[in-house]
């Protein structure tokens, strides 16, 4: 006959201790869940959809994703084989049936379908750990010189990837906010954002772009110049990743008096056999002069069309340089030499745009005038 559960008096000390230990474990599990933020849905996301890299910022968490803008797809079925860093490792190494694509070219979307798949993958990565999922509002940084058709492509890609509402902000404006410049004041601030596909130069005052110059020259042009130089001068064929490595290791825009050299491996165009050549930093500096001079000329043009009152502010405050191109050795020295103005390079130039878009999310009321829906 069932006599009911044993009373507390019948429980041993060991049983009581195990019961309390189990309860405390359950409480710690629940507290971990709450503190991890998984119960809080992702409402607002900022995206820097760059030619070279895509960065994602989540409100309240900071930058949660930084991946190359590369997608590997199967040629026939268009099935995704890899996205981001995984796909970048495949550039120039894929077998016949697989293609590694960079869906953004010159700062704008070149392949809408692949961009949509890439964005959906990145947004899913950010939101999949949450228990409650809702469609987020997304702020996307775009080049200031893009057409309405290109804006529409960005909007449709983000909406198809799962966004509730899409806002766009010009990259120079986002970079200025990310650096911490007082964009809402009447004081003039000049920003040069050198990305993978474009260089954006803008003078900003009163939460608006007073004058801007956008050229489709960036890090990719420098890589292409290095590939061409080695093909012509050394009969050596190299891929994009190798050209980028040369640019980072020995590339420079200004003569420091300290020269470097690097061994470069590639395919001999005459014999077809792989070979190694030694390349000097002076040669690389000379071969990238054309795109570098295009950037210098764009800065000059931007200064020429700047209103005189704002020009006086720029003389006092100088120019801020952001974007991956700001990391090219000596580019700040060259621009300072050509313009006679102080040039400031941000500590983390690669993340300026997404940090600025994130600050806009944190204070939408303050920065609502800089957004385009």
Q: Which position has the higher pLDDT, 75 or 12?
A: 75
- How far out from the chain centre does Cα 30 lie? 36
The confidence band for 35, taking pLDDT boundaries of 50, 70 and 90, is: very low
Question: What per-residue confidence (pLDDT) applies to 260?
Answer: 92
Question: What per-residue confidence (pLDDT) applies to 128?
Answer: 76
Identify whether the C-beta of residue 211 lies closer than 8 Å to the C-beta of residue 182: no
Same fold, 44-172+356-370 and 219-289: no
Nearest of 18, 17, 372 to residue 170 by alpha carbon: 372
In whole numbers, what is the pLDDT of the chain averaged over residues? Answer: 88
Mean pLDDT over 18-41 rounds to 50
In the chain, where the domains are located: 44-172+356-370, 185-217+293-346, 219-289
Provide the 10 A C-beta neighbour count for residue 186: 10
Mean pLDDT over 148-175 rounds to 90
CATH fold of 219-289: Actin; Chain A, domain 4 (3.90.640)
Residue 79 has pLDDT above 70, yes or no: yes
Q: pLDDT tens, 143-160?
A: 887 888 888 888 998 898
The confidence band for 131, taking pLDDT boundaries of 50, 70 and 90, is: low
Mean pLDDT over 227-248 rounds to 96
Question: What per-residue confidence (pLDDT) applies to 217?
Answer: 95
Q: Residue 82 — φ and ψ, nearest 5°?
A: 180, 150
User: For 128-137, 155-164, 192-201, 304-313, which range has the lowest pLDDT when averaged over its residues?
Assistant: 128-137
Residue 192 has pLDDT above 70, yes or no: yes
The confidence band for 26, taking pLDDT boundaries of 50, 70 and 90, is: low
Stated pTM of the model: 0.85
Question: What per-residue confidence (pLDDT) applies to 34?
Answer: 43
Q: Which CATH number fits domain 44-172+356-370: 3.55.50.30, 3.30.420.40, 3.20.20.70, 3.40.190.10?
A: 3.30.420.40
Question: What per-residue confidence (pLDDT) applies to 283?
Answer: 96
Distance of alpha carbon 315 from alpha carbon 175, whole angstroms: 20
Residue 11 has pLDDT above 70, yes or no: no
The C-alpha angle 239, 244, 245, rounded to 5 degrees, equals 100
User: For 153-162, 215-224, 226-235, which range has the lowest pLDDT when averaged over its residues?
Assistant: 153-162
CATH fold of 185-217+293-346: Nucleotidyltransferase; domain 5 (3.30.420)
Q: pLDDT tens, 260-298?
A: 999 999 999 999 999 999 999 999 999 999 999 999 999
Mean pLDDT over 107-125 rounds to 88
The confidence band for 234, taking pLDDT boundaries of 50, 70 and 90, is: very high
Nearest of 254, 305, 303 to residue 281 by alpha carbon: 254
The confidence band for 301, taking pLDDT boundaries of 50, 70 and 90, is: very high
3-state per-residue secondary structure call for the chain = CCCCCCCHHHCCHHHHHHHHHHHHHHHHHHHHHHHHCCCCCCCEEEEEECCCEEEEEECCCEEEEEEECCEEEECCCCCEEEECHHHHCCCCCCCCCEEEECCEECCEECCHHHHHHHHHHHHHHHHCCCCCCCCCEEEEEECCCCCHHHHHHHHHHHHHCCCCEEEEEEHHHHHHHHHCCCCCCCCCEEEEEECCCCEEEEEEECCEEEEEEEECCCHHHHHHHHHHHHHHHHCEECCHHHHHHHHHHHCECCCCCCCCEEEEEEEECCCCCEEEEEEEHHHHHHHCHHHHHHHHHHHHHHHHCCCHHHHHHHHHHCEEEECHHHHCECHHHHHHHHHCCCEEECCCHHHHHHHHHHHHHHCHHHHHHHCEC
Question: What per-residue confidence (pLDDT) applies to 12?
Answer: 61
């Amino acid at each position: 006959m069932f006599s009911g559960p044993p009373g507390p008096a019948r429980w041993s000390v060991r049983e009581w201790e195990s019961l309390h230990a189990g309860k405390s474990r359950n409480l710690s599990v629940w507290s971990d869940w709450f503190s991890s933020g998984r119960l809080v849905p992702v409402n607002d996301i900022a995206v820097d959809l760059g030619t070279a890299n895509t960065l994602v910022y989540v409100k309240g968490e900071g930058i949660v994703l930084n991946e190359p803008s590369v997608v590997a797809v199967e040629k026939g079925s268009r099935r995704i084989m890899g996205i981001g860093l995984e796909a970048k490792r495949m550039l120039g190494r894929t077998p016949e049936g697989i293609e590694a694509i960079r869906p953004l070219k010159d700062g704008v979307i070149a392949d809408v379908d692949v961009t949509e798949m890439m964005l959906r993958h990145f947004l899913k990565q950010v939101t999949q750990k949450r228990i409650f999922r809702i469609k987020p509002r997304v702020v996307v940084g775009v080049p200031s010189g893009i057409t309405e058709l290109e804006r529409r492509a960005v909007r449709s890609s983000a909406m198809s990837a799962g966004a509730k509402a899409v806002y766009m902000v010009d990259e120079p404006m986002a970079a200025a906010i990310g650096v911490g410049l007082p964009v809402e004041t009447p004081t003039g601030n000049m920003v040069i954002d050198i990305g993978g596909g474009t260089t954006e130069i803008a003078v900003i005052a009163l939460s608006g772009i007073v004058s801007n110059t956008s050229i489709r020259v960036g890090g990719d042009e420098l890589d292409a110049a290095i590939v061409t130089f080695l093909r012509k001068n050394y009969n050596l064929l190299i891929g994009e990743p190798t050209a980028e490595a040369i640019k980072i290791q020995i590339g420079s825009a200004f003569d420091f008096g300290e020269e470097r050299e690097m061994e470069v491996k590639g395919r001999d165009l005459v014999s077809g056999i792989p070979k190694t050549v030694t390349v000097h930093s002076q040669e690389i500096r000379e071969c990238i002069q054309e795109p570098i001079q295009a950037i210098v000329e764009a800065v000059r043009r931007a200064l020429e069309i700047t209103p005189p009152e704002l020009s006086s502010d720029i003389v006092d405050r100088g120019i801020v340089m952001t974007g991956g191109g700001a990391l090219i050795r000596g580019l700040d020295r060259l621009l300072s030499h050509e313009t006679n103005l102080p040039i400031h390079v941000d500590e983390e130039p690669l993340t300026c745009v997404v940090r600025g878009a994130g600050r806009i999310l944190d204070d939408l009321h303050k920065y609502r005038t800089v957004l385009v829906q």
